[in-house]
Amino acid sequence: MADSTASTDPSPADRPVYVIGGGPGGLAVAYALRARGVRAVVLERSDRVGASWRRHYDRLRLHTTRRLSSLPGLPMPRRFGRWPARDDVVRYLETYAEHHRLEVVTGVEVSRVERAPDDAGWLLSATGGRRLTGAAVVVATGHNHTPHVPDWPGRDTYTGEFLHASAYRAPAPYAGRDVLVVGAGNTGAEIAVDLVEGGASRVRLSVRTPPHIVRRSTAGWPAQYTGVLVRRLPVGLVDRLARPLARISVPDLSAHGLARPGTGLYSRVTEGAVPVQDVGLIDAVRRGRVEIVAAVDGFEAGKTILADGTRIAPDAVIAATGYRRGLEGLVGHLGVLDAHGRPTARAARTPRNAPGLYFTGFTNPISGMLRELAIDAELIAKAVVKQSAGAVPRLPG
């Protein structure tokens, strides 16, 4: 990847579009801009593209199909299979950047974005004292940016191993051990199954709010296809349609401690909680290999206190408790975030008070993250070209 050689104070006519983040969202936007003759510079804080994908646990496979997970301009290879593995996705992102000859500058972390002094673009403050001026900025730092661990009382008294799910890689270190996984989203569910299959002596899954569980594929029909079909239907209608389908396809696990959710499936998605795609959790719970326990309320004297008053002493606790977007320091001062730290606009829409500032990858859509990133990339590129009215530099030829 390139080192930073860009001019820090070019004239307005020579200012590129800066894309912050070298993950799939950022790379897709850079390609879509380049395809329209616009110079885009990707700023990636790590030393390689796809950094967040490299940190995922080893067994991870996409829950979305290969065909609906490709980025614009380059299909994923058929050899990846229907559900590409983590390493395949990493290789694909590397190939994508090289194939499209994207201008990627690694080792540069942007700490703050603000209006340029001449009000004709954006000023980025970055590592090494860099001050970069761009005609427009696309923030693509990712939905899973900063690991989040609840501020549980007494956590410092826990004497076992404690880690966030972002630090989990494989089950081998936990073979023969008693492990508590906290959080029943896709990550927590899959790690729990991974631990069981990897030889952990006991695996418990702490659940605060029962998740919706769907089969990744039913009779050859991927759940993602259904998500694509219903994504624009009224939320209440999708909730009603999903209820009988869930009863048919997913067994009632209430007797095992995992009750059916009281809130509709699509209603939960609008709140930020996508369904858990089953990759073995249902069977593991039914067979008692993964035990469902109450939510964690805190820690005391080396033990974990659950919401039902139970005290347990696992050897290790893995907190699959999600991430924060981490945008406050970057753009929080611009008034472009809501009360939950989410951008108030996405894709081709920009905040009213921040024209030329775009966001991608900060939702968790039912139709698949990579699919939506690909769509957003094209929309953002079109908007940049239209709104800039020739103010962005064009690539030669």
Q: Where are the domains of the chain?
A: 12-145+325-388, 147-319
Quick count: other Cβ atoms within 10 Å of Cβ 257?
16
Buried-exposed string 81-106: b where 16+ CB fall within 10 A, e elsewhere: eebbebebbbbbbeebbeebebbbbb
**Strand duo 357-359 + 136-139: pairing:** parallel
- Of 21, 62, 28, the C-alpha closest to 44 is 21
Q: Token pair for residue 39? A: 């110079």
**Regarding the domain with residue range 147-319, which homologous superfamily does it belong to in the CATH classification?**
FAD/NAD(P)-binding domain (3.50.50.60)
Place of tokens 């801009």: 33
Q: Residue 286 in contact with residue 251, Cβ under 8 Å?
A: yes
Q: Residue 44 in contact with residue 104, Cβ under 8 Å?
A: yes
Residues 6+ apart with CB under 8 A from 134: 15, 16, 17, 18, 41, 121, 122, 124
- Of 149, 121, 146, the C-alpha closest to 133 is 121
12-145+325-388 matches 147-319 in fold: yes
Q: pLDDT (tens digit, 9 = 90+) per residue, 371-391?
A: 999 999 999 999 999 986 655
Residues 6+ apart with CB under 8 A from 250: 213, 214, 215, 278, 282
What is the C-alpha separation between 268 and 242, in angstroms, rounded? 12
Q: What share of the chain is helix, strand, coil (3-state, %, to 5)?
A: 30, 25, 45
Q: Token pair for residue 203? A: 């695996």
The one-digit pLDDT tens for each residue of the chain (397 residues) are 554 444 456 656 679 999 999 999 999 999 999 999 999 999 999 999 999 999 999 999 999 999 999 999 999 999 999 999 999 999 999 999 999 999 999 999 999 999 999 888 999 999 999 999 999 999 999 888 889 999 999 999 999 999 999 999 999 999 999 999 999 999 999 999 999 999 999 999 999 999 999 999 988 999 999 999 999 999 999 999 999 989 999 999 999 999 999 899 999 998 888 899 999 999 999 999 999 999 999 999 889 999 999 999 999 999 999 998 899 999 999 999 999 899 999 999 999 999 999 999 998 899 999 999 999 999 999 999 998 665 555 565 4
Q: Residue 102 in contact with residue 24, Cβ under 8 Å?
A: no
Surface-to-core class of residue 149, CB atoms within 10 Å of its CB (0-12 exposed, 13-18 middle, 19+ buried): middle
What is the C-alpha separation between 194 and 203, in angstroms, rounded? 10
The domain made up of 12-145+325-388 has a fold known as: FAD/NAD(P)-binding domain (3.50.50)
Q: Residue 291 in contact with residue 203, Cβ under 8 Å?
A: yes
